[in-house]
Amino acid sequence: MNLRTLELTISYDGTRLVGWQRQAEGESVQGLLEEALAHLEGAPVTVHGAGRTDAGVHALAQVASVQLTCEHPPEVLQRALNASLPWDVRVVNVREADAAFHARFSARAKTYRYVLCNGPFVSPFEHRYVWHVREPLDLDAMQAAAQTLVGTHDFAAFCSSGSTPATTVRTIVRSSMTTRAGSALLLPPGAPGAVQAGRVDESTLLVYEVIGNGFLRHMVRAIVGTLVDIGRGRHPPAWMAALLEDGRRSDAGATAPAQGLFLVRVDYY
């Protein structure tokens, strides 16, 4: 039988999962997909993901690639996978891909979104998907700092301690902080419900969105923790540029909680 390459788009709530990658203990997205696909293939399979999201991190459109010999049409595979996967992992699309396609190595850019709730309380319908920050934040300062990250920089100051990437240089093409009124958690940027940046006086969702050619371990969460410190007035917006220059993780903000982070999309050549 011929070997075929498939591209899968997956959406998942990462709250109870140990992340994308298989772990010795706990359920991972990769492990769940491989188990479900093995039943269809009749043999073990390996699924490659575009990004290795950590425990507690969510995805709106994670992309994976897999090679199979089974001849089920893509729509049949999608239905079969969703019938066997738990409710918090959904395959939203399956399509035939070129033999050379690889979800990770063929990727051109990834978009991540981090959501904060700024105000006295957080909606019970959103508390699993946001970081709740009660004190007022200066959104103008946070946006100014976020813009500093656009371009090609050394992001060592935002790389998880103990991580050893070949290089900490990455290119960011978009880095923006906006606000949304009401329960607009999953709305795309510019959708109805967006409000202007400034100082927020009641519960409002703050959305940080970043697009880049690659990301270091915990990079987005470290950036968000740093932006929140700036929003709290602990540092000026210019601190962000100084961190890029100095490159010391210990000088930047704390790593933001995992539950506010979403992998939004992956773009390919």
pLDDT at residue 193, rounded to an integer: 41
Mean pLDDT of 15-39: 95
Task: Give the CATH number of the domain where residue 200 resides.
Answer: 3.30.70.660
Structural domain boundaries, residue 239: 109-268
CA dist 207 and 185 (Å) reads: 8
Segment 221-255, tens digit of pLDDT: 999 999 999 999 999 999 999 999 988 899 999 99
User: Which residues form the catalytic set?
Assistant: 54
pTM exceeding the 0.85 threshold for the entire prediction: yes
Give pLDDT, residue 125. 85
Whether residue 87 sits in one domain with residue 204: no
Residue 242 lies in a domain: yes
pLDDT at residue 194, rounded to an integer: 42
**How many domains would you assign to the chain?**
2
* Residue 193 lies inside a defined structural domain of this protein: yes
Token readout for 120 is 């006295």
Cα–Cα dist 246/100, whole Å: 39
Residues near 228 by beta carbon (within 8 Å), at least 6 away in sequence: 116, 131, 133, 137, 142, 253, 256
> Of 198, 180, 183, 178, which is closest to residue 122 (Cα–Cα)?
183
Q: What is the pLDDT of residues 33-48, one digit of tens each?
A: 999 999 999 999 999 9
Residue 83 placed within a domain? yes
Please check whether residue 103 lies inside any domain of the structure: no
140 burial level (CB within 10 Å; 0-12, 13-18, 19+): middle
What is the reported pLDDT for 201?
A: 44
CA neighbours closer than 13 Å in the CB half-sphere of residue 215: 26
Q: What is the pLDDT of residue 119?
A: 87
Q: Are residues 167 and 79 in the same domain?
A: no
Q: Write down the mean pLDDT value for the chain.
A: 90
Give the percent of the chain with pLDDT over 70.
91
In the beta sheet, which residues pair with residue 172?
151, 212
* 114 and 244 co-located in one domain: yes
CB of 239 within 8 A of CB of 200?
Answer: no
Is 38 found in the same domain as 16?
yes
pLDDT at 189 over 60: no
**Which stretch of 21-30, 138-147, 186-195 has the lowest confidence by average pLDDT?**
186-195
